[in-house]
Amino acid sequence: MPETRSGLQEPEEFDAAEHSLGELVSEARGSMTRLVRLEVQLAKLELARDVQKIGMGAGLAVVAAVLAHMFLILVAITAGLGIMAAGLAPWLSFLIVTVVFLLISGLLLFLALRQFRKRQGFPLTGAAVASTLSALRRDNRTSNG
């Protein structure tokens, strides 16, 4: 069988007039098995893509949390003391620094959530399964009716 660009095999030409009913049933069973195998392979590919996007979002969230913590401890003290040296009250100096770092961590969290929302689910697998079920129902109605 020749292969397609994606590495999958192209369907074979099949002349039903030259084969018995048993051979036709066997060929249909083989085709269905191959179809199910390909749909499972498609689902695995789509799942891998979504896992990658979720991993990227989780990684960004962890980086945001670590940076927010480091900023709060290391830079906030320095900035608060710097503002205090400019003449503001200590409580006001440290409140300004706290609000700024809260805004930075909020922005990073927003970017992480945006990554989580980019996942797409299984659109190709869903379409392939729906198409297969539709074809099976249509064939079932034709053979029964």
Q: For 97-135, what is each residue's pLDDT tens digit? A: 889 888 988 999 999 999 888 877 778 888 888 888 887
Higher pLDDT, 20 or 37: 37
- The reported pTM is 0.39
**Which pLDDT belongs to residue 63?**
94
**Which pLDDT belongs to residue 144?**
62
For all residues of the chain together, what is the average pLDDT?
Answer: 83
Report the distance separating Cα 68 and Cα 14, nearest Å.
64
User: How many angstroms separate the Cα of 68 from the Cα of each of 59, 61, 119?
Assistant: 14, 10, 26
CA angle 98, 104, 105 (to 5 degrees): 90
Both tokens of residue 91?
């409580």
Compute the 3-state secondary structure of the chain and give helix, strand, coil in percent, each to the nearest 5.
Answer: 80, 0, 15
